[in-house]
């Protein structure tokens, strides 16, 4: 009952905060001109200069990942991952369409929340960035050399793949936790039979050194809670993984009355090394499953999709000492581990305080058997035995925490719209600054690794209101950059984002710049339809399929006049770009193509399919302004009656 009253009070305060932000036009500062110009200087990157950091922001329901520079806030690129993207032809070209394949058929969209950069010894190594698709559960690996999506694996038995895609400190695993518990295996059953019957799958995907190396190693079938967010242990807690849970009541309808009765939910602590050992010794149960694994082969410039039909599952009750619950108040959302690996921070959404657990105390409590009962055989640790401290924040609606290198933590508060800086160990609040408005995640470059780089925090806000010129009912979300190099945070700059950025990952530009791909070598192009010389350009018919082996170089296509095509044919334009230089793609588009254009990188081959419906002579052209004679890059296809 008390819980319900608290909920109503919080809902009311949230309403007030939202009404409040519509009625006042705050600009976030009452600074003097001198201070504003010093803020401007801090984000100003002069023409020809480059940013100090990369920032990768999730694109939420755009299904994509966006790349920004810090401190300038300039957007450099949108990387398509789970969504079709006409700008490059991703998901439309024959080479990339298999990337979007799932057990439900092609799903050319998703909801991308959490990017995480690969690590070695707990430090960012800049090889890849992993991202999750929430809706049709998938994990993707994006190369930080080519900035292209290289691999996507679907997650069976999962639904609302939200506590994902976080990685262990040597990138041994990328971890994906289900938000919804569901019947495992899926079957027709009464929804009201949820309690005790639905399961929450926590999936550990091993990451090998090569392309095509993601593999579901095991899946832990947990009680039917909601698994919200997760983070790996690091340093002393390496080998463990932590997941926040809510709805430990196991209600099948999350109207507040049902799902927030428990004063405390849990953080699930998983000793994955122990489970790894268990499955390496033959433990676990192989279950039928059906999921896609899609791999892009850079040498062939094309992707393949494979269906896999079994998955290894683990019942936590079968591995004593591997899974524990840490009671954590008020429906925790964020689950963050500090750079030392000692502290596990749970942010109760319906709370004002942050609960910090101690890893050392957790181990001691496990050794001493200080349990407070169990849930489905999983021991629940005594709250007081694992508590390291409480941050009396004075804010409302804590969500996520990141860290700097000086022993400070920064937590976002959605309801009170602020970032609060506090000291690890003393739990004292050091500073707080408003955000505009209703902040979700925040990001400090390296701020979820053993080596944070500090300097800036980017707050990603859910509500924009008056921050930009109005653009109709929908505004792009507002991100804000704060200087965190001093004792007090300083708001420097607002910049609009794309889609809905939830989380982000950032790293020094110097980590990626040396390995950034400039072009693909034509002599290494192993695409089966590559055309290595203009002399090899040709048209080949195979029944109703017509393959056009086409080359491009500034400023022409070969061949550029194509005849012999008939209505009802399936025409494949295999376009090979012969440029061997940085940043010279050519595009290809043909009138009436109902898919997309394609953008072909130097040295690459890409294919677009065209099914002409009408007799006539139809033009095609290069879509990317590539030279002074770009407008001359054109041709015709003659289509005759069937
Ligand atoms: S969630 Cu969006 S603000 Cu998907 Cu990480 Cu917390
Ligand atoms: Cu090639 Cu424009």
**Span from the CA of 629 to the centroid of ligand 2 (angstroms):** 8
Determine phi and psi for 97, rounding to 5 degrees.
Answer: -55, -40
Classify strands 634-640 and 561-566 as parallel, antiparallel or unpaired: parallel
In what side-by-side order are the strands of the sheet with 586-590? 561-566, 634-640, 616-621, 586-590, 598-600
- Looking at ligand 2, which atom is closest to the CA of residue 554? 1
- Strand partners for 401: 411
**Span from the CA of 441 to the centroid of ligand 1 (angstroms):** 6
Mutate to test the pocket of ligand 1, among 176, 502, 505 (most ligand atoms within 8 A of CB): 502
- Looking at ligand 2, which atom is closest to the CA of residue 623? 2
Identify the residue whose C-alpha is closest to ligand 2 atom 1: 586
**Span from the CA of 440 to the centroid of ligand 1 (angstroms):** 6
**Span from the CA of 555 to the centroid of ligand 2 (angstroms):** 6
Which pLDDT score, from 0 to 100, does residue 1 have?
Answer: 40
- What's the predicted TM-score (pTM) here? 0.94
Ligand 1 site residues (CB inside 6 A) read 113-114, 162, 229, 333, 399-400, 440-441, 502-503
Confirm if 96 and 90 have CB atoms less than 8 A apart: yes
Nearest bound ligand to the CA of residue 134: 1
Q: Peptide bond preceding 71: is omega within 30 degrees of 0, i.e. cis?
A: yes
What is the mean predicted confidence (pLDDT) over 433-451? 98
| pLDDT tens for each residue of 77-132 | 999 999 999 999 999 999 999 999 999 999 999 999 999 999 999 999 999 999 99
| pLDDT tens for each residue of 556-612 | 999 999 999 999 999 999 999 999 999 999 999 999 998 899 999 999 999 999 999
**Burial class for 244, CB neighbours closer than 10 Å (0-12, 13-18, 19+):** buried
Mutate to test the pocket of ligand 1, among 417, 460, 503, 504 (most ligand atoms within 8 A of CB): 503
| Distance separating alpha carbons of residues 522 and 96, to the nearest angstrom | 19
Token pair listed for 385: 């035995």
Classify strands 285-297 and 302-314 as parallel, antiparallel or unpaired: antiparallel
Rounded to the nearest integer, the mean pLDDT of the chain is 94
Ligand 2 site residues (CB inside 6 A) read 586, 622, 624-626, 630, 633
| pLDDT tens for each residue of 36-84 | 889 999 999 999 999 999 999 999 999 999 999 999 999 999 999 999 9
Q: Peptide bond preceding 437: is omega within 30 degrees of 0, i.e. cis?
A: yes
Identify the residue whose C-alpha is closest to ligand 1 atom 4: 113
Give long-range contacts, CB 8 A cutoff, 24+ apart: 86-91.
86/596, 86/597, 87/599, 88/598, 88/599, 89/596, 89/597, 89/598, 89/599, 89/606, 89/608, 90/149
Residues sharing a CB contact under 8 Å with residue 168, sequence separation 6 or more, in sequence order: 119, 175, 232, 238, 241, 272
Task: Kindly list the structural domains of the chain, giving each domain's residue range(s) and its CATH number in brackets, ordered by start.
Answer: 50-515 (2.130.10.10), 522-640 (2.60.40.420)
Q: How confident is the model at residue 2 (pLDDT cuts 50, 70, 90)?
A: very low
């Amino acid at each position: 009952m008390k819980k319900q009253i608290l909920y109503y009070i919080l809902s009311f305060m949230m309403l007030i905060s939202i009404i409040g932000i519509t009625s006042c036009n705050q600009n976030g500062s009452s600074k003097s001109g001198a201070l504003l110009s010093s803020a401007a200087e801090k984000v100003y990157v002069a023409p020809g200069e480059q940013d100090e950091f990369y920032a990768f922001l999730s694109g939420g329901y755009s299904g994509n990942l966006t790349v920004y520079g810090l401190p300038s806030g300039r957007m450099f690129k949108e990387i398509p991952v789970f969504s079709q993207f006409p700008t490059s032809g991703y998901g439309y070209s024959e080479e990339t369409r298999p990337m979007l394949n799932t057990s439900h058929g092609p799903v050319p969209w998703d909801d991308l929340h959490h990017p995480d950069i690969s690590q070695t010894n707990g430090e960012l190594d800049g090889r890849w960035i992993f991202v999750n698709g929430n809706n049709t559960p998938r994990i993707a690996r994006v190369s930080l050399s080519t900035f292209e999506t290289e691999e996507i694996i679907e997650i069976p038995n999962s639904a609302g793949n939200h506590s994902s895609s976080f990685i262990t400190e040597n990138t041994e695993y990328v971890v994906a936790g289900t938000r919804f518990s569901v019947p495992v295996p899926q079957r027709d059953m009464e929804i009201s039979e949820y309690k005790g019957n639905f399961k929450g799958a926590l999936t550990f995907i091993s990451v090998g050194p090569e392309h095509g190396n993601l593999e579901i190693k095991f899946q832990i079938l947990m009680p039917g809670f909601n698994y919200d967010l997760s983070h790996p242990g690091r340093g002393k807690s390496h080998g463990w993984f932590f997941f926040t849970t809510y709805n430990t009541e196991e209600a099948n309808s999350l109207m507040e009355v049902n799902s927030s009765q428990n004063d405390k939910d849990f953080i699930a602590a998983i000793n994955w090394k122990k489970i790894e050992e268990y499955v390496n010794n033959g433990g676990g149960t192989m279950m039928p499953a059906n999921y896609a694994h899609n791999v892009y082969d850079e040498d062939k410039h094309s992707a393949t999709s494979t269906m896999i039909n079994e998955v290894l599952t683990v019942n936590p009750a079968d591995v004593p000492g591997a899974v524990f619950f840490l009671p954590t108040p008020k429906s925790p959302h964020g689950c963050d581990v500090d750079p030392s690996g000692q502290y596990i921070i749970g942010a109760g959404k319906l709370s004002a305080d942050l609960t910090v657990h101690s890893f050392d105390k957790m181990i001691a409590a496990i050794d001493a058997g200080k349990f407070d009962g169990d849930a489905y055989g999983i021991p629940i640790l005594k709250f007081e035995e694992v508590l390291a401290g409480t941050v009396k924040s004075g804010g409302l609606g804590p969500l996520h925490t990141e860290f700097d290198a000086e022993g400070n933590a920064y937590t976002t508060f959605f309801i009170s719209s602020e970032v609060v800086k506090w000291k690890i160990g003393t739990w004292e609040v050091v500073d707080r600054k408003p955000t505009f408005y209703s902040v979700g995640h925040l990001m400090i470059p390296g701020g979820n690794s053993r080596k944070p780089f500090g300097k800036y925090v980017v707050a990603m806000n859910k509500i924009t209101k008056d921050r930009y010129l109005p653009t109709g009912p929908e505004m792009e979300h507002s991100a804000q950059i704060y200087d965190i190099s001093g004792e007090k945070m300083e708001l420097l700059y607002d910049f609009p984002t794309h889609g809905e950025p939830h989380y982000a990952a950032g790293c020094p530009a110097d980590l990626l710049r040396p390995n950034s791909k400039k072009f693909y070598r034509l002599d290494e192009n192993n695409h089966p339809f590559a055309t290595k010389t203009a002399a090899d350009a040709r048209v080949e018919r195979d029944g109703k399929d017509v393959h056009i082996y086409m080359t491009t170089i500034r400023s022409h296509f070969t061949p550029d006049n194509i005849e012999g095509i008939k209505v009802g044919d399936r025409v494949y334009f295999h376009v090979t770009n012969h440029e061997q230089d940085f940043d010279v793609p050519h595009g290809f588009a043909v009138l009436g193509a109902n898919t997309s254009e394609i953008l072909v990188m130097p040295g690459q081959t890409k294919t677009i399919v065209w099914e002409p419906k009408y007799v006539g002579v139809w033009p095609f052209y290069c879509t990317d302004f590539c030279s002074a004679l770009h407008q001359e890059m054109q041709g015709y296809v003659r289509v005759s009656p069937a």
